[in-house]
Copies of this chain bind each other. A is one copy, B any other.
Amino acid sequence: MMIVKRVLDVEPETFAEGVHIRWVLSKKRDGVPTFSMRHFTLKKGASIKLHSHDWEHEIYMIKGKLRVRSGDDEAVVEDGHAIYIPPNKPHSFEALEDTELLCFIPCKGEP
């Protein structure tokens, strides 16, 4: 059955200081089979510390400005940018402005 949601209607959960996550489409809640859609908001100055896992990220920047590090790579991204972070690469995020983004992962990365 088709699922339609307004992303901002999904209940946000605290992910880190100044960072909220919305599980928009997930295996656990919605039964999607392959990959999960999450929406993040980061307040200016908020960050997600260096961490690593054996699944990738595909990110779409809805708005804001974000410094992304992955291994030895670093970029500052803005509205309309797409970012791919490969599996097993330590990565971190730092919001240079209030930021809103989508971050997709394979369902195996769901908690």
Interface residues of A (CB under 8 A from B): 1-8, 24-25, 30, 32-35, 37, 55-56, 58, 60, 62, 68, 70-71, 73, 75, 77, 80-87, 89, 91, 102, 104, 106
Contacts and interface: CB of A to CB of B under 8 A. Distances in A.
Contacts of A68: 2, 4
B2 A86 contact: yes
Contacts of A83: 2-4
6 contacts: A1-B71, A2-B73, A4-B75, A5-B81, A6-B80, A62-B62
* A1, A30, A56, A71: most-surrounded residue (chain B CB, <10 A): A1
A5 B106 contact: no
